[in-house]
Structure 1
Amino acid sequence: MATMYLVQAFKQIGRKLVADPVQTSKSAEKAVAAAERLAPMRAGVIAFSQEVDIETDTYDEPRVLLKLGTLPPGLME
Structure 2
Amino acid sequence: MAKKTFYVVQPFELGKRGALKAAPAMEVRTSADAERIARRLAIVKAGAVAFSRDVDPESDDADPPVLIARFGQVPDEAMEPA
TM-score bracket for this pair, using the shorter chain length: over 0.9
Q: How big is each residue's C-alpha offset from its partner over 1:7-52, in whole Å with a ceiling of 9 and x where there is no partner?
A: 0000012221111111110000111111111011111100000000
Match for residue 26 of structure 1 among 29, 42, 47: 29
Gaps of 5+ in 1: none
Equivalent-residue separation in structure 2 for 1:35 and 1:73 (angstroms): 16
Higher strand share: 1
Moved over 2 A (4+): none
How many matched pairs? 77
Q: In percent, how many aligned pairs have the same letter?
A: 36
| TM-score when normalising by structure 1 | 0.93
| TM-score when normalising by structure 2 | 0.87
Gaps of 5+ in 2: none
* Map of 1:8 onto structure 2: 10
Equivalent-residue separation in structure 2 for 1:26 and 1:74 (angstroms): 25
- CA-based RMSD of the aligned residues comes to 0.9
Which residue type is aligned with residue 6 of structure 2?
A: M
Equivalent-residue separation in structure 1 for 2:59 and 2:24 (angstroms): 25
Written as runs of structure 1 = structure 2, the 5 A alignment for 1:1-77 is 1-13=3-15, 14-77=17-80
